[in-house]
């Protein structure tokens, strides 16, 4: 991939940096590779070190040196499509803990020891239920995604988000902007690959455009994503006439 082959050094100094570009430009590959190089935890069914779809990210990470000036309390990589895998894993853990409680009730004689053991296991399940709900898979994709982010984005963390707008309505994208801004105030840093003109408008963010095999900083108003969206909203019929011939 030209972008990866030509990349020598990139600095992320802003609290939020967006990676933007056409499909196939390499922005997600770079994001995944940096997340792998920073040993980020994946909010999905598999961790980065074992996810077969992230083999290229691990190869990318092996070819670079990664330096961070400040220690991050946590490091996490999130792909929107992986969140259901994560909530399924949480649901399976909750079901397993419930089964353990039932097993303890029948396998340990009644008494203080059984009470302590059952209480400890039930407490673990209760903690998951408080964080993700009694039915983690019961909400819409967008609601689940935002709920997981609200729970997992803690202060002073380093976060890699790949196209987080995918499951979200425009109103929910605005809610995501508010959440990111709040976490920035708490010392977090974000690197985000996105196509969303709304998300890209976050004040104070740096935008890096992946184009012609290189990354370069651009202004929001100069992005093709923004120009096309503006033209369509101003006169959708005229744009569709050009597209449909």
Whether residues 115 and 204 fall in one domain: no
Under the banding of pLDDT at 50, 70 and 90, the label for residue 4 is: confident
Whether residues 40 and 102 fall in one domain: no
Q: Which domain holds residue 101?
A: 88-132
Of 131 and 3, more confident: 3
Angle made by CA atoms 37, 79, 26, in degrees to the nearest 5: 60
Mean local confidence (pLDDT), 99-126: 68
Tens digit of pLDDT for each residue in 27-71? 988 999 999 999 898 876 667 777 777 888 888 888 899 988 888
**pLDDT above 90 (res 86):** no
Whether residues 182 and 230 fall in one domain: yes
Q: Which residue has the tokens 């990589």?
A: 77
Whether residues 31 and 99 fall in one domain: no
Under the banding of pLDDT at 50, 70 and 90, the label for residue 213 is: confident
pLDDT at 128: 54
- Name the domain count of the chain: 2
- Percentage, residues of the chain above pLDDT 90: 45
Q: Which two tokens stand for residue 192?
A: 């985000």
Contact 198, 173 (CB under 8 A): yes
Neighbours of 132 (CB within 10 A): 21
Whether residues 22 and 66 fall in one domain: yes
Angle made by CA atoms 227, 232, 238, in degrees to the nearest 5: 120
pLDDT at 91: 57
Angle made by CA atoms 52, 18, 157, in degrees to the nearest 5: 70
pLDDT at 230: 93
Whether residues 81 and 168 fall in one domain: yes
pLDDT at 144: 74
Report DSSP state, residue 26: S
Tens digit of pLDDT for each residue in 119-162? 776 767 666 565 555 555 555 566 778 888 888 899 999 999 99
Whether residues 99 and 146 fall in one domain: no
Mean local confidence (pLDDT), 225-242: 92
């Amino acid at each position: 991939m030209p972008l990866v082959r030509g990349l020598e050094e990139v600095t992320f100094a802003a609290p939020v940096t967006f990676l933007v570009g056409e499909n196939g430009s390499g922005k997600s590959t770079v994001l995944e590779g940096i997340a792998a190089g920073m040993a980020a935890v994946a909010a999905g069914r598999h961790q980065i070190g074992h996810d077969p779809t992230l083999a290229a990210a691990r190869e990318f990470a092996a070819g670079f040196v990664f330096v961070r000036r400040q220690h991050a309390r946590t490091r996490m990589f999130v792909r929107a499509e992986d969140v259901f895998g994560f909530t399924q894993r949480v649901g399976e853990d909750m079901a397993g803990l419930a089964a353990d409680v039932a097993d303890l009730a029948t396998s340990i004689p009644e008494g203080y020891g059984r009470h302590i053991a059952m209480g400890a296991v039930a407490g673990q399940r209760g903690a998951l239920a408080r964080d993700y709900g009694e039915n983690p898979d019961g909400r819409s994709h967008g609601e689940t995604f935002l709920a997981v982010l609200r729970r997992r984005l803690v202060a002073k963390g380093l976060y890699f988000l790949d196209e987080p707008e995918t499951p979200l309505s425009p109103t929910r994208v605005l809610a995501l902007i508010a959440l990111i801004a709040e976490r920035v105030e708490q010392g977090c840093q974000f690197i985000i690959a996105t196509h969303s003109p709304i998300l890209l408008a976050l004040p104070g963010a740096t935008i890096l455009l992946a184009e012609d095999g290189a990354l370069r900083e651009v202004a929001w108003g100069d992005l093709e994503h923004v120009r096309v969206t503006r033209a369509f909203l101003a006169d959708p019929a005229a744009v569709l006439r050009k597209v449909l011939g």
